[in-house]
Structure 1
Amino acid sequence: MSRFGGIRVVVVGGAGGIGGRIAERFAEEGADVLVLDLLRGADPALGGASSAGPGRGIRHCDLVDAVSVEAAFAVALAELGGIDVLVNSAGILARGSLLDLAPERWDLVMDINARGTLFAMQHAARAMIDQGAGGTIVNIASMAAKAGGGDEGAYAASKAAVVGLTRAAALEWGEHLIRVNALLPGYVLTDMGKDTRTDEDVATWSKKSPLGRLGTPDDVAGFALFLASVDGEYLTGQSFNVTGGMIMH
């Protein structure tokens, strides 16, 4: 399929998990995709190419470091020739009581999940404005932004910030034909969490959905591609629950 033939896509946090599947799906449908992700031991100058799969390249990007983000987007613009779609999928989870949450742990979660998302949005939006043809930004938040989440207070707060950024950016950049939306996944079965989840965990979480199952990366990826397609042209500033009915508001 070539639904996205000629479309230039940057996926931040696309080396694996939900972001990885989104990058794969765009590539499968004809897009020119570049993944920006944290590569341990990478050359800060981002020299050399490495592969993230068919139709995808991957370059180093440390969301905690504003200079690294700026350099990564400079490389993306040079290699792709512009940006039509940005997907922000990077994030970390910090578990534990808010009463015991250390300041440095709070800062790290907010720096990556919220501040890093803002930096990526800024660089992509500037490119889209310069191009003069608009574009699409899809931010991957979490149902924790609405539901809180007992021992995930910092994570929930950071993802609520992403929802707020999505709305603010949609209002500010709409005049440039830039659409900004957020996806709020529920429990999604990714390889990243397979070492810590049990069959009992999966069964318990599945009962939270009226559909009786957990989400898959494809469930989220399909919606992300819809938002970036012509079928999603009149959607902006929205936060869509991709939770199998676990959240209905």
Structure 2
Amino acid sequence: MSASRFEGSRVIVTGAARGIGARIAERFAAEGANVVVIDRLREEGSARAEAIGGAFVQADLASVESTRDAMEAAVTELGGVDALVNNAGLLRFASLMETTPEQWDETFAVNSRSMLLTLQIAAREMVAAGRGGAIVNLASMAAKTGGAGQVAYAASKSAVVALTRVAALELGPSGIRVNAMCPGYVLTEMGADTRTPEKIAQWSSYSPLGRLGEPDDVAGLALFLASQDGAYLTGQAVNITGGMVMH
């Protein structure tokens, strides 16, 4: 791993106060990037940004105005943007028949609509600068396989994959690459309150590697997709599931 792969690059990571996003931000910073952390958690987000020598912008990604304001502030802080990682997401459990319109709308607002807004602002800046850029959107294994009890989540992540493909088609001529990551079961704070040793063992058995994912597994892919090593990849929804999904 080159310590200077992203030297001087300007990177924005949403949902980076903890979990996968935090590790992505840490690894970009470790490889020389100037990083802005966007998150709703002020205390944790500020601490994360300070620890990596970056900056923090608070945002409620369920709000159109807050999302746009945060992105504008992040771009101003960095003086532009070379890579955007849309990591922030919301997971709510409810069956198909129990899911309310309000739950559906909230999930789509955070998981899908916020990515449209951040992507629009980042792409505008990248096009104006004429240097190209990379955008990485966090989808999910659920986008391809569904997930009982996760109808809004799975549908919102499928929307992320579709958004990624359209953005790749439209932004490719400007040298902007757009890809999605589809992680499987990753051990983070999200969903921790419903996690049991039995569930961990069960899900681990679905992977040929015999384990669940770690934030570093996803972070490594994010950095690859944003780097020149991934220069000929765009419009992809890359599985990172330990073999639970193989297509």
TM-score range, shorter chain: over 0.9
> Is the CA contact 2:17–2:41 (under 8 Å) kept in the aligned structure 1?
no
The change in CA–CA distance for 1:40 and 1:218 in structure 2 (over 3 A counts) is closer
How many Å separate the matches in 2 of 1:18 and 1:39?
15
Report the alpha carbon displacement of residue 156 of structure 1 after superposing the two structures with TM. Answer: 0.3
Matched residue of 2:238: which SS?
strand
**2:98 alignment partner in structure 1:** 100
Residues 170-185 of structure 1: pairs in structure 2 closer than 5 A: 170-185=168-183
User: Is there any run of 5+ residues in structure 1 with no aligned partner, and where?
Assistant: 42-48
Report the alpha carbon displacement of residue 196 of structure 1 after superposing the two structures with TM. Answer: 3.0
How many Å separate the matches in 2 of 1:50 and 1:13?
12
**1:50 alignment partner in structure 2:** 46
**2:12 alignment partner in structure 1:** 10
1:203 to 176, 197, 201: 201
The change in CA–CA distance for 1:38 and 1:221 in structure 2 (over 3 A counts) is same
**1:37 alignment partner in structure 2:** 39
User: Does residue 1:169 correspond to 2:180, yes or no?
Assistant: no
How many Å separate the matches in 2 of 1:84 and 1:28?
16
How many Å separate the matches in 2 of 1:197 and 1:212?
17
**1:222 alignment partner in structure 2:** 220
How many Å separate the matches in 2 of 1:143 and 1:70?
28
**1:44 alignment partner in structure 2:** none
> Is the CA contact 1:189–1:217 (under 8 Å) kept in the aligned structure 2?
yes
The change in CA–CA distance for 1:40 and 1:104 in structure 2 (over 3 A counts) is farther
Letter in 2 for 1:30: G
Matched residue of 2:194: which SS?
coil
Identity rate of aligned residues, in percent?
60
TM-score by length of 1: 0.94
**2:246 alignment partner in structure 1:** 248
Letter in 2 for 1:34: V
Matched residue of 1:98: which SS?
coil
How many Å separate the matches in 1 of 2:5 and 2:212?
28
Matched residue of 2:158: which SS?
helix
Report the alpha carbon displacement of residue 200 of structure 1 after superposing the two structures with TM. Answer: 1.2
RMSD, aligned CA:
1.4
Moved over 6 A (4+): none
Report the alpha carbon displacement of residue 195 of structure 1 after superposing the two structures with TM. Answer: 3.8
**2:72 alignment partner in structure 1:** 74
The change in CA–CA distance for 1:247 and 1:9 in structure 2 (over 3 A counts) is same
Aligned residue pairs total 242
The change in CA–CA distance for 1:150 and 1:163 in structure 2 (over 3 A counts) is same
User: Is there any run of 5+ residues in structure 2 with no aligned partner, and where?
Assistant: none
How many Å separate the matches in 2 of 1:83 and 1:230?
16
